[in-house]
Structure 1
Amino acid sequence: MMLDESKVRKLERDLVFFFIVLITFCKSFAVAAFHYYGNQAYYYVIFDTVLFVFPIIYFSIKYKSMDKQNDEINKKMEHYTQIVDNTSAALWSYDIHTKQFYFSKGVSKLFGYKHNYLSYDPEKRWIGAVHPRDLSIVGELMEDVAIGLDTSKEFRIILPNKEVKWIQMTGSPYYSRIGMLDKVTGVVIEITEQIKYKEKFQYLAHHDPLTELPNRTYLKNHLKLEEKNLPFSLLFIDLDRFKIVNDTQGHEFGDLLLIEVSKRFKQCIYGKDSLIRYGGDEFIIILDNADKEETIEICKKIIHEFREPFIIKGLEFFSSPSIGIGLYPLDGKSMEEIIQAADTAMYHAKENGRNNYKFFKSSLNEVNRRKLQLENRMRRGLENKEFYVQYQPKVRLSDDKVVGMEALMRWSSSELGEISPVEFIPLAEELGIIVEMGEWILQEAAAQCKQWQEEGLTELTVSVNISPVQFKDQKFVTRVLHVLQQTGLQPEYLEIELTESIMQDIENAKFVLECLQEIGVKVAIDDFGTGYSSLNYLRHLPINTLKIDKSFIHGINTKEDEESIVKTIVYMGHNMKFEVVAEGIENASQLRFLQDLNCEIGQGFYFSKPLTYEDFVQRYVSSSAEGTLLKS
C-alpha cells in the first residue's frame, strides 16, 4: 500500500520541528557548560555535538528507508496502473467539491479521445459523445452521482470516427472521515459485444429461424391489442396437404417449401401489415385498419398467387392456402380470442373444399364443440366396440353376379348416435388414430370375407380403403401379412384401395406396391380422375384396378364432358390392362352406358346400398347357389 502523501509531509514537518528544538537545547546546554566549567567545557561540547549529530544520522537513515519503501510502492502502483490502462475498462472519479471528472488512460480506448480531454468540462466533452437517444439515461446517472447513490447505467457513445459503442458505467460513493460525501468512483467498460449477443438472442426468441419471420412469441409479446386503437383483420392460414409433402418428400423439402411460401405471402401484403409464422405450416397475417372488402381482396390475391407452382429442387409442387378470418373487435376483445375465431374459420374453409377463405361466424363455435365431442368419444368408441363394418356389393356388369364387396367403416356412438364417415375419418387422421382404426377394419373385413367364402361365396373378394397416413406407415406391409395369416384369407381375395395422393411420393409408393404385389394382394386406385395421377406413373406402378369417381358417373346422359371423361378412363384402363370399376351407379341408363363401354365392375345404390352383416347374409350368402344378385 502506498504511503499517504499528507502523512509524509506531516512527518517531515515534525522532524524539522524536533531538530530545531534539539539544536536550541544543545546550544543552550553548551553555553551554560562553558560558563560554569571553564576549560573543562569541551567535554560537554563533545557531548552536545554527539547528541545533535546522532538524531540527524538516525532520522536520515530512517527517512531514506521510508523513501525507498515509498519508491517500491510507487513502482507497484505504476505497474497496476499500466495493467488497468491496457484493459478495455477505464476507472473514473467525480469530485463532489470541484464538480470535476477524472479518468484513467483506458478511457481513450473507449471514447477515442486523449484521456485528459474528457476530464474537463464533461458536459461538452464526454457527455457530448453520448448518443442523443441515451442522454436521458446519462442524466439519471448524473443525478445518482450528485447525491452519492450507487449507480449502473448502459448507454451508447459515438466515437470521433462515427463508430457507435455500448458502454456500462458503474459508480459508488466515497465518504470522508466525518461522513461527508467526498467523491464518487467507478468503472467504465465496453459492452458492445454483450449487447449484440443479447439482441441476437432476443431476435431468435421472437423470430422463426427457418423463414426469419416473427413467431408466436413475438405475436404474444409485441402485438398487444391495447397498442392497436384501430380495427384489423387477422388471417389464419394453413397450407393444404403440407403434411403429405413433409412426410413423403422429407423435412428438408418441406422446409424449403415453407421458405418459398413465406416469400410469396410477403408479395401479397403491404409494409404496415404483419406476417407471422405461427407454427408448422400455419401462418398469421394481420391487416391493420382493413375493412371487409380490403380483407377479401388480399385473400383473393393470396389464393391467386398460389396457383403458380413452387419449384423445389427442380420439382414442381402445388400448394394451396385455407384461410380463416377473424375481425377485431367484432370477433373478440383479446388477441387470443381473435386467433381462435380465425382458426375456427380456417377449419371451416378446409371442410368446404380447401383453397378458399371463410369469415368467422358465431355458429362455427357449434362446429368446434361438435368436433371436441367427437375427439373425446372416438378413442372410447374404439375401446367400446362402437365401430362396425358395412359392405357394399361389387357387381360384374356382364351378368349381374356379385364378385366382391367394399368394406366401409361406420360408427354408432352410444351417446351421439350415427356419425358420418365424412365427419369422423378426417378427424381420426388428424388425431393420429387412423392407423389403429384402419388395422381394425382390415382385420374385420378379411375375417368376414373368409367366413363367407366358406359359406358358399367362394370367389368373393373384399376391398378395404387405406388412408394415406396408414399407407405411409413403415409397418403397413407387415400388418397386411399379419392379417392374412391370422384370418387365413388368400392374398388374391384382398384388394387395397388407395387414393391418387400416393403419387406425391412415387418412390415410396412404388416400393410398397411392389411388396403387396409380391404377396399377391391386389391394388385399386380409388376416385380416379380427381387427384394427382400421371399416366406415366400409372404405367410403371403395379396396379390392378381403376375406380372411376362417382362424380363422373353422375354426369352420364346429362353432361357430355363427363361422358367423355368416363369413356377416356375406360379405354385407357383397358389399354393399360387395368380392370375398371364404376362407382356411384344410380340408374339403368348409367348402367347401359357403362355396359356398352365393356366396363367390368360396378357398384352403387342401383344395385345395393352398403349393408350390415345381417342384411348381406340374408341377401347374398343364402342365395349363393344361384350366384346372382337379388335386386332390392
Structure 2
Amino acid sequence: MEGSYNIYIVALSAVIAILASFSALSITAKISHSKGRSRYFWLLAGALVMGNGVWSMHFVGMLAFHLHATVKYDVWLTLLSMVAAVISSFIAFYITAPKNIYWYKIAIGGFIMGSGIVTMHYMGMEAMIMPVELSYDKGLWILSAVIALVASYAALFLFLRFRNQASSSWLKWMSAFVMGFAICGMHYTGMKAARFHAHEGPMSDHLPGVDLFLLYGVTVTIFIILMVSWGAMFFDRHVLERMAYEDPITGLPNRNEMNRFFDTHLGNESIGVLFLDLDQFKAINDTLGHNLGDLLVQEVGKRLGEFIRSDQQAFRIGGDEFLLVVKRCDRERAERLAEQLLKSIKKGYRIEGNELYVTASIGISIGSIREADRAHLLKTADTAMYKAKRLGKNQYCVYTEEMGTQEVRKMELEKDLQWALEQKQFFLVYQPKWNVKTNSLFGFEALLRWHHPRLGNVSPVEFIPIAEETGLIVPMTLWTLEEACRQCKQWKSQGIDQPVSVNLSVRLFHTDSLTEWVQAILEKVELEPNDLELEITESMVLHDINDIIRQLNSIRKLGVRVSMDDFGTGYSSIGLLDRIPIDALKLDRLFTNDLDTPGKRAIVHAIVLMAENLKLDVIAEGVEHKEHIEFLTQLGCYVMQGYYYAKPMTQEEIGHWIRRQYENVNE
C-alpha cells in the first residue's frame, strides 16, 4: 500500500534540518578554541542540537506521511532513536574537534554521523505501531545509507575547512544545506524504500487527519531549541566573547584574542611582531598608585589604537606589555613603524593633574605564523625587546640569529648553573695586590671561575649576572668565602701571611644573615677575622643604605675589613663615604687606562686626597704598564692590582709567583 505526503510539512522538515545543522555546526566551532570544561560544554550543546534536530526532522517528516491506517509510536524506541542521533553527533564532533584535522578523521566522523542518521531513521520506523507489515527495497535502503554517509562527510569537510574564517559564513550555510540534504535525502529515500503490506481484511479509505496539537508542539519545541542555541551563540559572541577577548582597561584585544589570531591566521605569510614594553611604568605605578597606572596604560592603549589598520592589529598582553602584529611585513616597514610608535608614546600624558612622561622599548621579530613558528616568533620578539632595554631604553631592536644564539647559551648556562656547585665545577683563582711603597705583597683577591664540562671555561662576565638574576649568587658566594678562607689558612701554615678578599653581592645583604654566615665560616676554618676582607660594590648605595650600613658595622665589629670595589663607575656615593663603614677604596680600571690625560689625573688625585682625610686605603685596579705605576705613585696611590704584577692564578701557581717576586726584590 502507498502513502502520501503533506507538502508543507515536508518543506518544514527540510527547513528544520538545515537550521539545526547550521546551529549545531556553529556551536561546535567553539570547540577547537575552548579548553577544559567549556570544551565539553560546547561539544555536548552541539551534539544535543544536532541530534535533536535530526530526530525532530524525522518525526515531522513522519507526520507529513499519511497511510490509510492509524499509526502510533512505541515511546521507548522513539526515545532510543533520539539518543542514537545525539550520541553519533557527539562522537563525530569529538573526532573532528582538534584544530589540525586529517582527512581520515573527517571520513570517520562523517561515517559515524551518517550511521547515526541511518540508525535513528530505521529505529524510528521500527517504533511505528500500525496494522500493516513493513519491509524494505534493498537497493533503495542501500542508497539511503550511501546518501547519509557521503553527504555527512561532505558537510563536515566543508564546515571544518572554513570554520575559522568569519568571512565565509555562506560556506557554513552551504555545509548546513549539505547536512540538511543528508538528513532529508536519507529520510525520504528511506521512506521510498519502505514497503507497507496491509493485513488481510478491509482497510479504511479515510485518510486520518494530522494531529495538529502534536505537530504544533513538535514545531514549537524545535524552534525553542533553535532559539536557545542562537541565543547562546549571540550571548557568547557579544557578551562572553567580549569579556574573554577584550582588555577591560584599554579596550584592545587581549592575550586570548592574540592566541586566537594566530590560531585563525596560520600560513606562510610573512608578518612582523613588535613587542612593546613601557620603560618607567613600575616607578610611576609604585609612586603614584595603581589607579593612575591603569589610566596611563589606558592612554597608551589609545595611542596604540591609532596604529590599528586592516593589516595591523594591536594587543595588550600584560601589565605594561603590548604587541603589534603587522601582516605582509618586512624589516624596513617594521623599523619605520617602531620609530613612529616610540615618537607617539614618549609624548607627555596629562592625567589627573599629573604631567607624566614614559618611553618604551620595542623588540621586533619577522617571520611566518605557521604553527611550529608561532612560539618562536613571540619569544624572539621578547628577546629583542630586552636587548633594547639593555641598550638604554626608548629604542627598538630587531632580532638576529646572533642574539638568538646568545639567548640559547644564556638559558643553557642558567640551567647548568644549578648543578655546578654539586658537581664541583667551580674553582678559585687569586690575583695579588702589591704595595709599591714597601715593595711587598698586600694580599690576594679571590675570584670565582667556572669550568663547564662541555663549554669549557665560562667567563664570570657571563655567569655572574645570571647567578644574580636567579639568586644562585648567594650559595655560590658562601662557597667562595669558605674556600678562600681555607686557602688563606693553608698559606699561613706555609708562612705566607697575607689576607684574602672576596666580592659580595647585594643579594647577601637582602638575606639579613651575612654577619652570622661570615662569623660561622671564620670559626669553622679557624681563621682570624683580620685575614679576611669583603668587597662591596658602589651600586649598593641604590638599595636600603641604612640597612647596608647596619650590616657592615656588624661585620667590621668582627674584625673583618671592608673595601668598596669599582669606585667611580657611575653611582654617586661620594656624599655617603663618611657614613659607609669601609677601610679601602678600589679605583676602577677606567681611571688607570686614561692616566695620560690631565683631567683623569686630577680626578684620581682628588680621590686619593679625600681617602687620606677619611683614613681609607686606595687600591688601583687594571695596572698593566710601568707608566701606570709611575703616574699612580706620583698621585699618592701606592697599592696596585693588575696584569703588570700577575694575572689571576691558581693556588699551585701562587707559591712559584711569590718566590719569583721576592727573588726580584732581593736582586
- Whether TM-score is above 0.5 comes out as yes
Out of 259, 263, 271, the position equivalent to 2:307 is 271
- Are residues 1:408 and 2:447 paired? yes
Tell me how far apart the structure 2 counterparts of residues 256 and 580 of structure 1 sit (CA, whole Å).
49
Distance 1:260 1:181, change over 3 A: closer
Amino acid at match of 1:380: W
TM-score, normalised with respect to structure 2: 0.55
- Are residues 1:578 and 2:613 paired? no
Instruction: Please report how far the alpha carbon of residue 305 of structure 1 lies from its aligned counterpart in structure 2 after TM superposition.
Output: 9.5
Distance 1:179 1:239, change over 3 A: closer
Question: Match for residue 31 of structure 1?
Answer: none
**Number of positions where the alignment pairs a residue of Structure 1 with one of Structure 2:** 456
Out of 477, 482, 486, the position equivalent to 2:515 is 477
- Are residues 1:593 and 2:631 paired? yes
Instruction: Please report how far the alpha carbon of residue 583 of structure 1 lies from its aligned counterpart in structure 2 after TM superposition.
Output: 0.8
Instruction: Please report how far the alpha carbon of residue 609 of structure 1 lies from its aligned counterpart in structure 2 after TM superposition.
Output: 0.6
Distance 1:445 1:306, change over 3 A: farther
Instruction: Please report how far the alpha carbon of residue 553 of structure 1 lies from its aligned counterpart in structure 2 after TM superposition.
Output: 1.6
Report if the CA contact (8 A) 1:268-1:298 is conserved. Answer: no
> Counterpart of 1:457 in 2: which secondary structure?
coil
Question: Match for residue 566 of structure 2?
Answer: 527
Report if the CA contact (8 A) 2:268-2:368 is conserved. Answer: no
Amino acid at match of 1:432: G
Amino acid at match of 1:390: V
Tell me how far apart the structure 2 counterparts of residues 257 and 480 of structure 1 sit (CA, whole Å).
45
Out of 479, 489, 497, the position equivalent to 2:535 is 497
> Counterpart of 2:522 in 1: which secondary structure?
helix
Out of 336, 340, 359, the position equivalent to 2:379 is 340
Question: Match for residue 466 of structure 1?
Answer: 504
Q: Which has the higher contact order (CA 8 A, sep 6+)?
A: 2
Give the aligned CA root-mean-square deviation in angstroms. Answer: 5.2
Tell me how far apart the structure 2 counterparts of residues 288 and 198 of structure 1 sit (CA, whole Å).
25
Tell me how far apart the structure 2 counterparts of residues 235 and 423 of structure 1 sit (CA, whole Å).
27
Instruction: Please report how far the alpha carbon of residue 426 of structure 1 lies from its aligned counterpart in structure 2 after TM superposition.
Output: 2.1
Q: Which moved more, 1:347-356 or 1:491-500?
A: 347-356
Question: Match for residue 184 of structure 1?
Answer: 220
Amino acid at match of 2:453: S
Report if the CA contact (8 A) 2:249-2:298 is conserved. Answer: no
Instruction: Please report how far the alpha carbon of residue 462 of structure 1 lies from its aligned counterpart in structure 2 after TM superposition.
Output: 1.7
Report if the CA contact (8 A) 1:402-1:627 is conserved. Answer: no
Tell me how far apart the structure 2 counterparts of residues 462 and 318 of structure 1 sit (CA, whole Å).
48
> Counterpart of 2:442 in 1: which secondary structure?
strand
Residue by residue over 1:201-237, the C-alpha shift from the partner in whole angstroms, topping out at 9 and shown as x without a partner, is 7677557789997654443234557189985432345
Amino acid at match of 2:409: R
Report if the CA contact (8 A) 2:592-2:622 is conserved. Answer: yes
Q: Which structure would you say has the larger Rg?
A: 1
Tell me how far apart the structure 2 counterparts of residues 525 and 204 of structure 1 sit (CA, whole Å).
54
Tell me how far apart the structure 1 counterparts of residues 660 and 446 of structure 2 sit (CA, whole Å).
20
Greater share of residues in helix: 2
Question: Match for residue 555 of structure 2?
Answer: 516
Residue by residue over 1:233-252, the C-alpha shift from the partner in whole angstroms, topping out at 9 and shown as x without a partner, is 3234568899xx99xx9988
Amino acid at match of 1:604: G
Question: Match for residue 221 of structure 1?
Answer: 260
| 1:336-375 → structure 2 map (5 Å cutoff) | 336-346=375-385, 357-375=396-414
| 1:75-86 → structure 2 map (5 Å cutoff) | none
Instruction: Please report how far the alpha carbon of residue 306 of structure 1 lies from its aligned counterpart in structure 2 after TM superposition.
Output: 10
Amino acid at match of 1:603: Q
Amino acid at match of 1:359: V
Out of 631, 636, 653, the position equivalent to 1:615 is 653
Report if the CA contact (8 A) 1:462-1:494 is conserved. Answer: yes
Ranges in structure 2 where 5+ consecutive residues have no aligned partner = 1-8, 10-52, 62-81, 83-209, 350-355
Amino acid at match of 2:331: K
Report if the CA contact (8 A) 1:401-1:628 is conserved. Answer: no
Distance 1:229 1:417, change over 3 A: closer
Out of 417, 420, 429, the position equivalent to 2:456 is 417
Instruction: Please report how far the alpha carbon of residue 410 of structure 1 lies from its aligned counterpart in structure 2 after TM superposition.
Output: 0.8
| 1:416-455 → structure 2 map (5 Å cutoff) | 416-455=455-494
Report if the CA contact (8 A) 2:427-2:449 is conserved. Answer: yes
| 1:37-186 → structure 2 map (5 Å cutoff) | 179-181=214-216, 184=220
